[in-house]
Amino acid sequence: MNIGLTGSFLIGGILLITLLNVHTNVRRDSATTTLEVTAMSNVTTVADIADHDFSKIGVGAVSNPLLTATGTQISFLSDLDGDQTLDTLTWHFDSTSANGATANPNDHLLLRIVNSDTLRFSSNVTEFGLTYFNETGSVTASADSIRRIRVRVLCESPAPYGDEFQTSAWQRTYVPLNLTHPIGV
């Protein structure tokens, strides 16, 4: 048998296997990147709306605007649209109800309720948490002493790649003026 021909087949086979491996890796990386971008886009959507709402806590209110403050729900008063009328705004994460719109069993319903109008985020939210701080920076549960609010959101991709869901997290601490300088105090 010709050693040159055998060597050529061996080198050609190694190159073919290498190319197939590179193709598989590129395909996997492309799929996971797409899912990561989806998760990032979802968390950005929630963050943009949260920025709008949480920066307006208490606008137009003459007393403590916080109505409810738990780890998964906050309700507050604010003149959201500048019409001189206070709106009641609630953010509520329902970790007991699955979103159901995706293949991800971890995503749940995040609701944004303004007066009686409800927006259901279908943004693959898997975690939504609120932490409240007093004026010294200590964690508090008393609505009257809340001065800062940390919001944390975790979104996952709607579908897994293999067994893994891609995740994207966002966190921000808000210091609304109407909480740091309460009216009437």
Overall pTM > 0.85: no
The CA-atom distances, in angstroms, between 39 and each of 24, 27, 136 are 23, 19, 35
Q: With 0-12 CB in 10 A as exposed, 13-18 as middle and 19+ as buried, what is 117?
A: exposed
Determine the pLDDT at residue 183: 52
Cα–Cα distance for residue pair 81/77, rounded to 1 Å: 12
pLDDT at 181: 63
Q: Low-confidence residues of the chain, pLDDT below 50?
A: 184-185
Closest CA to 34 of 169, 170, 179, 158: 158
Distance between CA atoms of 47 and 56, rounded to whole angstroms?
14
pLDDT value of residue 89: 96
Q: Look at residue 184 in the predicted model and tell me its pLDDT.
A: 45
Instruction: Note the pLDDT of residue 122.
Output: 65
Strands 73-78 and 66-69: antiparallel
Q: Where are the beta strands (DSSP E) in 28-147?
A: 66-69, 73-78, 87-98, 108-114, 117-121, 125-133
Q: Are 149 and 50 in contact (CB under 8 A)?
A: no
| Cα distance between residue 161 and residue 169, in whole Å | 18
Task: Give 21-28's long-range contacts (Cβ < 8 A, gap of 24+).
Answer: 28/161
Helix and strand numbers, DSSP H then E, in the chain: 2, 8
φ/ψ of residue 126, rounded to 5: -105, -20
* Per-residue model confidence as pLDDT tens digits over 88-138: 999 999 888 777 778 888 889 899 999 989 888 767 899 999 999 999 999
Secondary structure (DSSP) of 131-151: EEE-TTS-B---GGG--EEEE
